[in-house]
Structure 1
C-alpha cells in the first residue's frame, strides 16, 4: 500500500472517530438539556440506527479532510485543518440537508433559532477529533 492510500485510510478512520465524538457530544447536549435550554429541539436518542449513518458520513467527510493533508508539505496543523474542514459538513447540513430533506427549513430554524450554532459546534467537535486522530494514527511519517 502506498503512502497516499495509507493516509486516505487513516483519514477515513479518523473521520469515523471524529463522528463518534460528535455524536456523543450531540447526545450528551440533548440528554443534559443544554439544547432544550437554548430553545433547540435537538435531543437525539443514542441508538444504532441513529449512530451508524453518522459514523459512515464522518468517515466520508474524513476523505474531504484527506485533501487538506494529502501533500507532505501540507502535513502541519492537523487539528486546525480539521476545524476548517468541519465547516463543509456544517454548511451541507444547514444549507442542503435541512431545507431539502427535512421540514425544518433553511438553517434548520424549525428546530430553534440557535440550531445553526449547535450544528457548527458539534461539527467543530468532529473537526477537532478528526485532526487529532489523524495526527495520532499517522505519526511523524
Structure 2
C-alpha cells in the first residue's frame, strides 16, 4: 500500500535536516576560513535567526525532492536524486536571491569570484544529506 502523505512528510523532514547540514557546512567553511581563503565574503554568524530560515527553506526544497521518489518503482538512487535536485535551490540562490534580494550582483559575484562554486558545493551538501536522511527515515518498505 502506497503512503504518499507519509513519504511527503519524510521528504520535508529530510530536507529540513539537509538544511541543517547545509547551514553547518556554510558556517564551518566561513568559520575555518575556507571561503575567505578563496576570496569569498561568506562568513555567517551561527545564530537562530540565521538558522531557522535555512531549515524551513531546506524543508520546502525537500518537497521538491518528493516527486523523484514518490513512485515505488523510482525509489532507488536516493542520494543521486538529491544531488540533482540540489541544483534547483542553487540556481534559485544564484539567479534570484543574490542578485535581486541581497543585491550582490549576478551569481553573487560581488561576494567573490568563487561564490558560484561555493554555493553549488553547499547545496550539494544539502542534496546529499536530503537523500541520505530520506532513505534513513523511510526505511525499507
Secondary structure, aligned partner of 1:46: coil
Whether 1:103 aligns to 2:103 is yes
Q: How many residues align?
A: 140
Unmatched runs of 5 consecutive residues or more in structure 1:
none
Separation (CA, whole Å) in 2 of partners of 1:130 and 1:12? 9
Unmatched runs of 5 consecutive residues or more in structure 2:
none
Counterpart in the other structure of 2:123: 123
Counterpart in the other structure of 1:41: 41
Counterpart in the other structure of 1:59: 59
Whether 1:80 aligns to 2:105 is no
Aligned Cα root-mean-square deviation (Å): 0.7
The 10-residue stretch of structure 1 (31-40 or 2-11) with the greater mean CA deviation from structure 2: 2-11
Runs of 4+ that moved beyond 6 A: none
> Could you state the TM-score of these two structures normalised by the residue count of structure 1?
0.98
Deviations 1:83-135 (A, max 9, x none): 00000000000011111111201100010000000000000000000000000
Deviations 1:22-76 (A, max 9, x none): 1000000000000000000000010000000000000000000001111111100
